[in-house]
Amino acid sequence: MGEKTSTAGKPIQCRAAVSRAAGEPLVIEEIMVAAPMPHEVRIRIICTSLCQSDVTYWKMKDFPGIFPRILGHEAIGVVESVGEDVDEVTEGDTVIPTFMSDCGECVDCKSKKSNLCSKLPFKVSPWMPRYETSRFTDLKGEVLYHFLSVSSFSEYTVVDIAHVKKIDPSIAPNRACLLSCGVSTGVGAAWRTANVETGSTVVIFGLGSIGLAVAEGARLCGATKIIGVDLNPDKFEIGKKFGVTDFVNSGNCGDKSVSQVINEITGGGADYCFECVGLASLVQEAYACCRKGWGKTIVVGVDKPESKLSLTSFEVLTSGKTLMGSLFGGLKAKSDIPILLKRYADKELRLDEFVTHEVRFDDINKAFDLLIEGHCLRCVIWMDK
Amino acid sequence: MVEKISTAGKPIQCRAAVSRAAGEPLVIEEIMVAPPMPREVRIRIICTSLCHTDIGIWKLKDPPGMYPRIFGHEAIGVVESVGKGVDEVTEGDTVIPTFISDCGECEDCKSKKSNVCSKLPFKVSPWMPRHESSRFTDLNGEVIYHFMFVSSFTEYTVVDVAHVTKIDPSISPSRACLLSCGISTGVGAAWKTANVEAGSTVAIFGLGSIGLAVAEGARLCGATRIIGVDLNPDKFEVGKMFGVTDFINGGECGEKSVSQVINEMTGGGADYCFECIGSASLVNQAYFSCKNGFGKTVIIGVARPGSELGLSFHDVLHGGGKSIMGSMFGGIKAKTDIPILLQRYSDKELRLDEFVTHEIQFNDINKAFDLLLEGQCLRCVIWMDKHE
């Protein structure tokens, strides 16, 4: 057997699914991936999954939509090489990249209370976070933009060490990769952001992967009533797998608003309401059916940047309700992802049921079709070995 | 000595400051105060103070503005008589009325987490809360409307027992009355609603009585940096008395917004921001002055009806665990927390004296309105005349 030539320190030519125009199918092409700079890690992707946020920015013609770009941010891989000043991981480690930084150095990362790293703050940037440059070029030498500091729709990618978490390699990659974004976001929103109490009532607007992960998180926290709201009645059967106890078809409420229906079912509102679609109007519905006095409304979905919330000062003043957002479920990647992986290994946290489809890298556009048609939860895309 | 005739069970004729038209001076006139119905308490007011909320509704021509009305909701008095079914208080007790109910029976009142009673929910109603009628008539027999279930600008008023807290009579009434609304609201917002942690940084928008009470509450909670924001530079000296450590003149930030200035001063935002004026744009400033990830923005000020917050979806989502919430009566449960605050005043921990900047007689009640409208006072206490 020929000895494998080390690629460390050199550019790698490999295949990537490049998004060259808003809303158009990705094109599999050969690209060059530069060596990692200091504090960076080059990763060979094992598998990756499609998230609604990829679709949102893939469709966006104007900034922060930008092209040509390598999308994808939910993934798992193996470290191929590291840049200078990287001690946390080494070649061969199995790692999960995350769009949220956990630098461990700033006041926020050191605080128990915040997961919003201030050293490398979250933004939808076309660049690597620390140097604001790209590691990708096509074979003509044209720059390809990064996405959410991850860019996983590629056989190789480069990620800042603050966005990389080493994990136990024995966990099935098409399960572990889910904790890179979607399931962590949902479970975390219930567990960390809302801190759902045992015995409470929870309402979840939108039963996509995120909403179902919120249900799973609420179930693990001991919520006894988990009401799922969706336009698609099939979601109830699916939701039951993740702890949903009641279902409201928001298209079937007749003259009543969804919040009226929920206020009736719950006798005054839920303890926690999660918006997992990304619509200002639904945030308002969620706020209207969370219980006055102590209810919390948590915004998890992603709406268009300019979308405004219409709440009156009087309502906020007198209701005793709290409104908050949740980015990456309030999780600190490096400490919380291993906790969630262990809970999966201990058969407490469900991950398997989120993976409804698996495709090969060449068929990546099928994943987009499936998600846009609402026919899948997570579609895992396997890179070829 | 002539034996005092009991007034229990009978209407009482007394003087009240009646508001007969929006924005016009109150008129002192004789009125009739009916005896208390079941679960109600008739109270002889000792003294009362003016709050901005009285002014806000007094100016309104349309509902919830209604006339003729007896304003006032921050007060202290003595029980003259009680209606059926009242065991908590009896004739002669010193009591503080509150606009927020603490019925002790509903899920909210029984829960530690909520102070918004659902049995007798808050509203700016013209009536008594339980029987939705009025106890006041003028001498022509015309109904006079109540205000916030208290109506304290009168020698006698009737208040539902859920809105009445019995207190230690030895505390000076011109101090104790402040806990009936303003100071409880401010101190509570820091203590109960925000649960300000020791060592934290707080920003307060608006240094009126409420804002200064928030500062006092934050100080008692151990906040180490208390930033006060106001357009009036005199408020800094005043604020220092209550724990304000830094001052921002909201009119002198140049091209920067107040939130930019606060973010720079604090290296990323305050842990808690309180809006104590009632302006949607200031609520926005407060939200952006608050640390992303875990800051709390607390709305206390009462905005014009219908005024919208105007936060964007993006702002809330990207604030992460940063939250926004309102604070009614400072999150305080009147019957348990007012005695606690009174005790802290007696123990010389909580400052109340410095809030009272003016004291006047009932006949001069309109002066209190002038002083507050001109921004020339904190609390102006209005003393009822004594009765032998």
Q: What is the pLDDT of residues A243-286, one digit of tens each?
A: 999 999 999 999 999 999 999 999 999 999 999 999 999 999 99
Chain B CB within 8 Å of residue A17 CB: no
Angle between helices B280-288 and B258-266 (to 10 degrees): 20
Nearest to B320 among A115, A318, A323 (CB): A115
The answer for residues whose C-beta is within 8 angstroms of residue B207's C-beta and 6 or more apart is B215, B228, B229, B230, B232, B235, B238, B239, B244, B276
Query: Which residues in chain A touch residue B322, judged by CB atoms under 8 angstroms apart?
Result: 324-325
Average pLDDT of the residues in B121-128: 94
Question: Residue B182's pLDDT is what?
Answer: 96
Instruction: Verify whether the Cβ–Cβ distance B323 to A323 is below 8 Å.
Output: yes
Enter the pTM of the model: 0.92
Chain B CB within 8 Å of residue A318 CB: yes
Residues A306-326: pLDDT tens digits?
788 988 888 899 999 999 999
Indicate whether B23 pLDDT > 90.
Answer: yes
Indicate whether A294 pLDDT > 50.
Answer: yes
Indicate whether A4 pLDDT > 60.
Answer: no
Question: Residue B67's pLDDT is what?
Answer: 97
Element of type H or E holding A30: strand A27-33
DSSP string, A37-95: -TTEEEEEEEEEE--HHHHHHHH--STT--SSB----EEEEEEEEE-TT--S--TT-EE
Question: Residue B307's pLDDT is what?
Answer: 84
Among B177, B161, B269, CA closest to B225: B269
Query: Which residues in chain A touch residue B323, judged by CB atoms under 8 angstroms apart?
Result: 296, 322-324
The CA distances from residue A101 to A57, A105, A337, in Å, are 20, 11, 13
Average pLDDT of the residues in A84-90: 97
Indicate whether B388 pLDDT > 50.
Answer: no
Nearest to A325 among B309, B316, B331 (CB): B316
- The DSSP 8-state label assigned to residue B23 in this structure reads T
Angstrom distance (rounded) from CA A146 to CA A59: 16
Indicate whether A17 pLDDT > 80.
Answer: yes
Instruction: Verify whether the Cβ–Cβ distance A317 to B313 is below 8 Å.
Output: no
Query: Which residues in chain B touch residue A322, judged by CB atoms under 8 angstroms apart?
Result: 323-325
Highest mean pLDDT: which range of A111-125, A175-189, B272-286: A175-189
Average pLDDT of the residues in A326-339: 97
User: CA of A111 to nearest chain B CA: how many angstroms apart?
Assistant: 10
DSSP β-bridge partners for residue A228 = A204, A247
Angstrom distance (rounded) from CA B336 to CA B322: 29
Query: Which residues in chain A touch residue B297, judged by CB atoms under 8 angstroms apart?
Result: none
- Closest-CA residue of A relative to B115 is A293
Residues B325-372: pLDDT tens digits?
999 999 999 999 999 999 999 999 999 999 999 999 999 999 999 999
* Band of residue A1 on the pLDDT scale cut at 50, 70, 90: very low
Average pLDDT of the residues in A235-249: 95
Indicate whether A199 pLDDT > 50.
Answer: yes
Indicate whether A304 pLDDT > 80.
Answer: no
The CA distances from residue B261 to A148, A163, B18, B228, B250, in Å, are 29, 31, 45, 12, 10
For chains A and B, count residue pairs whose Cβ atoms are closer than 8 Å: 155
Angstrom distance (rounded) from CA A184 to CA A213: 8
Instruction: Verify whether the Cβ–Cβ distance A313 to B320 is below 8 Å.
Output: no
Chain B CB within 8 Å of residue A116 CB: yes
Question: Residue B2's pLDDT is what?
Answer: 54
Residues B145-188: pLDDT tens digits?
999 999 999 999 999 999 999 999 999 999 999 999 999 999 99
Angstrom distance (rounded) from CA B19 to CA B342: 32
Over chain A, what is the mean pLDDT?
A: 95
Question: Residue A357's pLDDT is what?
Answer: 98
Instruction: Verify whether the Cβ–Cβ distance A302 to B317 is below 8 Å.
Output: yes
Average pLDDT of the residues in B192-197: 97
Question: Residue B122's pLDDT is what?
Answer: 93
Residues B42-67: pLDDT tens digits?
999 999 999 999 999 999 999 999 99
Residue A121 exposed, middle or buried by CB count within 10 Å (0-12, 13-18, 19+): middle
Residues A133-162: pLDDT tens digits?
999 999 999 999 999 999 999 999 999 999
Among A274, A262, A264, A224, CA closest to A244: A224
Nearest to A317 among B291, B302, B316 (CB): B302
Instruction: Verify whether the Cβ–Cβ distance B327 to A324 is below 8 Å.
Output: no
- Closest-CA residue of A relative to B300 is A317
DSSP string, B159-228: EEGGGEEE--TTS-HHHHGGGGTHHHHHHHIIIIIS-PPTT-EEEEE--SHHHHHHHHHHHHHT-SEEEE
Query: Which residues in chain A touch residue B319, judged by CB atoms under 8 angstroms apart?
Result: 324-325
User: CA of A293 to nearest chain B CA: how many angstroms apart?
Assistant: 4
* Interface predicted TM-score (ipTM): 0.89
Average pLDDT of the residues in A82-95: 97
User: CA of B304 to nearest chain A CA: how many angstroms apart?
Assistant: 8
Determine contact, residues B298/B189, Cβ cutoff 8 Å. Answer: yes
Indicate whether B286 pLDDT > 60.
Answer: yes
Query: Which residues in chain B touch residue A318, judged by CB atoms under 8 angstroms apart?
Result: 116, 122, 326, 328
Question: Residue A2's pLDDT is what?
Answer: 46
DSSP string, B72-132: --EEEEEEEEE-TT--S--TT-EEEE-SS---SSSHHHHSSS----SSS-----SS-TTT-
Determine contact, residues A100/A106, Cβ cutoff 8 Å. Answer: no
Instruction: Verify whether the Cβ–Cβ distance A323 to B316 is below 8 Å.
Output: yes
Tokens of A184: 């962590």
**Selected residue of A113, A205, A324, A331 to mutate for chain B interface (largest B Cβ count, 10 A):** A324
Question: Residue A385's pLDDT is what?
Answer: 59
> Would you say how long chain A is, in residues?
385
Angle at A176 between CA A171 and CA A182, to 5 degrees: 165
Nearest to A113 among B293, B302, B328 (CB): B293
Tokens of B8: 């229990």
- Give me the percent of chain A exceeding a pLDDT of 70: 98
Query: Which residues in chain A touch residue B302, judged by CB atoms under 8 angstroms apart?
Result: 314, 317
Question: Residue A6's pLDDT is what?
Answer: 87
Average pLDDT of the residues in A43-67: 96
Instruction: Verify whether the Cβ–Cβ distance A307 to B320 is below 8 Å.
Output: no
A369 versus B307: the higher-pLDDT residue is A369
Tokens of B180: 């009936």
Among A288, A279, A281, CA closest to A315: A288
Query: Which residues in chain B touch residue A294, judged by CB atoms under 8 angstroms apart?
Result: 111, 113-114
User: CA of A1 to nearest chain B CA: how many angstroms apart?
Assistant: 52
Contacting A residues, span 265-284, partner chain B, CB-CB under 8 Å: 268, 278, 280, 283
Question: Residue B386's pLDDT is what?
Answer: 62
Query: Which residues in chain A touch residue B328, judged by CB atoms under 8 angstroms apart?
Result: 317-318, 320
- Closest-CA residue of A relative to B326 is A317
**Selected residue of A314, A327, A336 to mutate for chain B interface (largest B Cβ count, 10 A):** A314
Instruction: Say how many C-beta atoms besides its own lie within 10 A of residue A132's C-beta.
Output: 9
The CA distances from residue A81 to A7, A37, A168, B140, B237, in Å, are 8, 10, 18, 92, 61
Chain B CB within 8 Å of residue A324 CB: yes
Instruction: Verify whether the Cβ–Cβ distance B309 to A303 is below 8 Å.
Output: no
